[in-house]
Amino acid sequence: MNELAIISSLLDNDFYKFTMQNAVIKLFPLAKARYEFINRGKHFFPGNFVDLLKKNLDKMANLKLSNEERIFLEKNCPYLDSKYLDFLDQYQYNPKEVNVFQKGKNIQMYIEGLWSRTILWEVPLMAIISELYYQLTGAKRFSDKKIIHLTRKKLEKYKRLNVKFGEYGTRRRFSYQIHKLVLEVLIREGKTFFMGSSNVHLSHIFSIKPIGTHGHEWIMFHAAKYGFNIADKIAMKNWLNIYGKNLGIALSDTYTSPIFFKNFDKKLANLFEGIRHDSGDPLLFVKETINHYQKLKINPLQKKIIFSDNLNPCKVARISSFCKNKINPFFGIGTNFTNDVGLPSMNIVIKMVKAFPKKKWTSVVKLSNVKEKSTGKKNTIFLAKKILHIS
């Protein structure tokens, strides 16, 4: 067993975790959050899994932002101000915030503490769980040569389609080594089509700008604080207050797209440069988005949709063809880049389940456009649907 730490940099994480952390520190510094691990794929974990997971968590406590990494963020992310970078300079993971247990072949995990601190755990934890799982189960993957070949074939397809895309695959990658290998190919051969990676550490290594927007937890917290009906709207307004014209992609499916569009008024639709699609029929979503912009007398060809829902070359071809001359599509491709190695990819998530916005813990839910991607307690989901008039 390789005893090297799976996570070797504080920045080995998705970019949107840092942009959300900055916003949380500025707007909700005393808020708390609780996250839980959800084993959607019902994977069985080897007997010593949690022991090795805990060893990796303990090693993460030693990670610190280096001076080089700070300079990289200052240069490439000027909207992350010096106060936030000072915070990140002092930040260290605290493994006591993570509680993990193993019962037979199942693991249970929850993370709890100040939201401004615990927000960084989700992505590296999932990357550790994924890499450890493949190490311990000993399944044989494709050779590096074949993975490079597959990545090149995908690149050729995307070039023929003339689409722009980024790599979003940190959380369910096969391993750090495969992630780095794939990214090397994308950067070297992607030219004008490849827009960058959501992984900040690898973006630093390869001297490219990290990309990303914000996650569902941003809106879920706003629902706990302000109510389901207006969570989307207040979350977007708060995002604009922090970032202005930067990072202008709105997330559309925390409480289903119809609820999002009710909140996405003309002012917000003008201020945000586009929308992210993360669940449900993508072609139907394109139609709904175009109709919404047209109703607001906004030209859809001046806007973009970022697609990020379990993409592969066939899906990208279908979506890009449908969007042609209607709206500008961009594609955030994750697992199909970083875990296409000849083995089933893991179906795991870590989601916020409770928030403490002010005086008490409140259960939070994500409804999504498809039932399988919804999270939260059944009674809270029922309540949210009732309030939002969702059948």
pLDDT digit string (tens) for 291-300? 999 999 999 9
Task: Classify strands 98-103 and 106-114 as parallel, antiparallel or unpaired.
Answer: antiparallel
Residues 6+ apart with CB under 8 A from 207: none
What pLDDT does 139 receive? Answer: 85
Number of domains in the chain: 2
- Indicate whether 2 belongs to any domain: no
CA dist 291 and 298 (Å) reads 10
Tokens 């071809």 sit at which residue?
317
- Indicate whether 199 belongs to any domain: yes
Could you tell me if 327 and 358 lie in one domain?
no
pLDDT band at 385 (very low <50, low <70, confident <90, very high): very high
What mean pLDDT do residues 129-153 have? Answer: 96
CB-based contact 218:241 (threshold 8 Å)? no
- Indicate whether 1 belongs to any domain: no
Cα three-residue angle 279-283-285, rounded to 5 degrees: 55
Supply the DSSP symbol for 270. H
CA dist 23 and 26 (Å) reads 5
Helix, strand, or coil here: 230? coil
What mean pLDDT do residues 205-222 have? Answer: 96
Is the predicted pLDDT of residue 3 greater than 80, yes or no?
Answer: no
Q: Where are the alpha helices (DSSP H) in 144-248?
A: 144-161, 176-190, 200-205, 216-226, 231-243
Residue percentage of the chain with pLDDT more than 90:
95
CA dist 117 and 70 (Å) reads 18
Torsion of CA 117, 384, 233, 80, to 10 degrees: 10
Examine the fold and report which residue of 297, 312, 338 is the final residue of a domain before the chain moves on. 338
Radius of gyration of the chain (CA): 20
Could you tell me if 131 and 155 lie in one domain?
no
User: How far, in Å, are 34, 39, 127, 174, 180 from residue 348 at the CA level?
Assistant: 17, 5, 10, 13, 21
- Indicate whether 107 belongs to any domain: yes
Q: What is the CATH number of the domain that holds 181?
A: 3.20.140.10
What pLDDT does 372 receive? Answer: 83
Of 89-98, 149-158, 376-385, the least confident: 376-385
Q: Which helix (H) or strand (E) holds 116?
A: helix 115-118
What pLDDT does 1 receive? Answer: 43
Cα three-residue angle 239-245-251, rounded to 5 degrees: 45
Domain range enclosing 372: 15-140+346-388
What pLDDT does 373 receive? Answer: 82
Is the predicted pLDDT of residue 136 greater than 90, yes or no?
Answer: yes
- Indicate whether 5 belongs to any domain: no
What pTM was estimated for this model as a whole? 0.96
Q: Where are the alpha helices (DSSP H) in 28-94?
A: 49-60, 67-76, 82-90
- Indicate whether 6 belongs to any domain: no
What pLDDT does 287 receive? Answer: 98
What mean pLDDT do residues 321-346 have? Answer: 97
CA dist 125 and 119 (Å) reads 11
CA dist 311 and 98 (Å) reads 31
Is the predicted pLDDT of residue 332 greater than 60, yes or no?
Answer: yes
Could you tell me if 378 and 276 lie in one domain?
no
Tokens 């240069």 sit at which residue?
75
Output the average pLDDT for the chain: 96
What mean pLDDT do residues 136-141 have? Answer: 93
Residue percentage of the chain with pLDDT more than 70:
99
Cα three-residue angle 340-345-348, rounded to 5 degrees: 140
Helix, strand, or coil here: 41? coil
Could you tell me if 102 and 242 lie in one domain?
no
What pLDDT does 72 receive? Answer: 98
Q: Which helix (H) or strand (E) holds 36?
A: strand 32-38
- Indicate whether 282 belongs to any domain: yes
What pLDDT does 37 receive? Answer: 97
CA dist 69 and 75 (Å) reads 10
**Structure tokens that stand for 77 in this block:** 């992310």
Q: Which helix (H) or strand (E) holds 350?
A: strand 349-356
What pLDDT does 175 receive? Answer: 97
What pLDDT does 146 receive? Answer: 98
Is the predicted pLDDT of residue 251 greater than 50, yes or no?
Answer: yes
Could you tell me if 160 and 86 lie in one domain?
no
Could you tell me if 317 and 361 lie in one domain?
no
pLDDT band at 268 (very low <50, low <70, confident <90, very high): very high
Examine the fold and report which residue of 338, 359, 380 is the final residue of a domain before the chain moves on. 338
What mean pLDDT do residues 179-186 have? Answer: 98
Is the predicted pLDDT of residue 8 greater than 80, yes or no?
Answer: yes
- Indicate whether 7 belongs to any domain: no
Could you tell me if 148 and 113 lie in one domain?
no
Is the predicted pLDDT of residue 2 greater than 60, yes or no?
Answer: no
Could you tell me if 160 and 260 lie in one domain?
yes
Could you tell me if 108 and 248 lie in one domain?
no
Summarised one tens digit per residue, pLDDT across range 13-27 is: 999 999 999 999 999
Could you tell me if 45 and 76 lie in one domain?
yes
Task: Count Cα neighbours of 306 within 13 Å in the Cβ-side half-sphere.
Answer: 25
Could you tell me if 159 and 74 lie in one domain?
no
What mean pLDDT do residues 226-247 have? Answer: 97
Could you tell me if 109 and 230 lie in one domain?
no
What pLDDT does 256 receive? Answer: 96
